[in-house]
Amino acid sequence: MASSSPSSSITSNLVSSPFYPSSFSKFSSLPLLSFSQTVKPFPKTSKLLYRTLNNQTTVVKAQTVDFAGSFYEGGIGSDDDPDSAIGSGTMTAVEEKETPPCPPGLRQYETMAVLRPDMSEDERLALTQKYEELLVAGGGMYVEVFNRGVIPLAYSIKKKNKAGESNTYLDGIYLLFTYFTKPESMAVLEATLKADDDVIRSSSFKVIKRNKVIHNGKSRNHAGVGDVDLP
């Protein structure tokens, strides 16, 4: 009968030992945790890109409205309802296009006129043509008129006509005139608008040319409207 060798006895004892590596096989089904992917801070370029997108959004909004810096920006009325007043910041009738260069000796102006809400379409067209001809006769160029329709006023306006009758208006037809003209012709336009029974309220503004200013490495557009020392 063959006797077992010392080496086989040692091997048998090692296999039965609780420290044999096979005893850890029951843990093989457990998921392994990997720390190879770590959270990295956002690169600085992301912040700059966010600012760039914001600038683009602002620019797009200004181009769509096309009245940034004019009297339509922050005008009378509430901004909550875009159909309630001229300060709503929207102008659906206006198409995007580049402002023509100012002719020599002329200045750029905008005139807002609020007409009686009960005017017929023919009456409104006749009034529009009347003031277009008045502007051209005074040396005006590039005259354009934008009709916003009937809009509620921010507050009631009471006006007395030439016959001495007083009327209180709660809404009106809003017209915007944009044009270039001689400064000395503005007095005639203002006097005619004020004496017109069909015009509830009017305001004229001198448009300041849009300038691009570089501030802290950023390009910003600045535009304004001057209603002081008109014309």
Residue-wise pLDDT for 55-74, tens only, equals 433 232 322 233 333 443 33
In the prediction, which pLDDT does 100 show? 86
In the prediction, which pLDDT does 209 show? 72
What is the model's pTM? 0.54
pLDDT band at 99 (very low <50, low <70, confident <90, very high): confident
Contact 142, 100 (CB under 8 A): yes
Residue-wise pLDDT for 177-206, tens only, equals 999 999 999 999 999 999 999 999 999 999
Q: How far apart are CA 189 and CA 84, in angstroms?
A: 27
**CA 64, 65, 68 angle in degrees (round to 5)?**
125
Residue-wise pLDDT for 6-38, tens only, equals 555 555 555 455 555 554 444 444 444 444 444
Does 210 or 42 have the greater pLDDT score? 210
For the domain 99-226, what is the CATH code?
3.30.70.60
In the prediction, which pLDDT does 134 show? 97
The tokens describing 219, both together, are 């390009």
| Segment of 76-85, 126-135, 164-173 carrying the highest mean pLDDT | 126-135
Q: Where are the domains of the chain?
A: 99-226
Contact 178, 144 (CB under 8 A): yes
